[in-house]
Amino acid sequence: MDVSERFAELVTRPEPEIRLDEGAFLIAAHARPGLDVSAECTRLDGVAADVARAGASDFAGLARGLFGGPSPYVGNTDDYGDPANSYLDAVLDRRLGIPITLSVLMVEVGRRIDVPVVGVGMPGHFLARDARDPASFCDPFDGGALLDPEGCAARFAEVTGGRTPFDPGFLDPVGPRAILSRMLANLEQTFLVRERRHAVWAARLELSVPGLAPGRRRTLAMLLGTLGRHTEAAAELEALATSGHPAGGPELQRLATGLRARSN
């Protein structure tokens, strides 16, 4: 089974059985051929052991253990769009990441030391939340800053420029499927700017995630079309056309027909 098939199999499991660390490393393996996913998961065991030895036993201690101290994991403010920021093995290597990968690190290290953490998919800025205290949050990208809900709302205003009203629902936890989908969406945007050809595998992987909103599937299909994968894109649109997509079957079928014509 190749890494794409392994990823597709993983994300079709029941949500509680989806290993977030494994999914993140499988994404990285597409850009870093030969990456040993099992060895990388074991490497995370070592990170967790180090954090536990440093005395982390609760949410705040976990944040300090990862994002404080002499060798912290930090946000890459110099090159936020570097694709390596989205590869969890590279985050471990360089101790650099973006909000979502640093949050994944916190979730997975926390799981290993019995400090449960959940991801929070706030628009524009990913956060981590104490699974035992729904009013306690962490911004791993900002040195592991601890936040309350009001602090999260203020952070949202900063990243959106105050143009979008804050919804408390933005602080709801999200599961592994949503996190992996968002990691892939980040990569697609990065690749479109830096390495367009790699956006193909990222879009394919995201399309393998069950439960994607129909509008998102349409967007990904059209992305594949713009990247020259006309037949794949047409097949996705045709599947949507028969699934009751709100855009309407005839319109999607028309788009698919146009893409198939371009493939001839």
Average pLDDT value over all residues in the chain: 95
Q: What is the pLDDT of residues 208-254, one digit of tens each?
A: 999 999 999 999 999 999 999 999 999 999 999 888 766 668 889 99
Tens of pLDDT, residue by residue over 148-198, are 999 999 999 999 999 999 999 999 999 999 999 999 999 999 999 999 999
pTM comes to 0.96
Q: Which pLDDT value is given to residue 247?
A: 61
Q: What is the pLDDT of residue 77?
A: 97
Cβ atoms 144, 72 nearer than 8 A: yes
| Model pLDDT for residues 190-200, shown as the tens digit of each residue | 999 999 999 99
Averaged pLDDT, 30-44: 97
pLDDT at res. 242: 87
Which residue is associated with the tokens 């800025």? 125
pLDDT confidence of 95, banded at 50, 70, 90?
very high
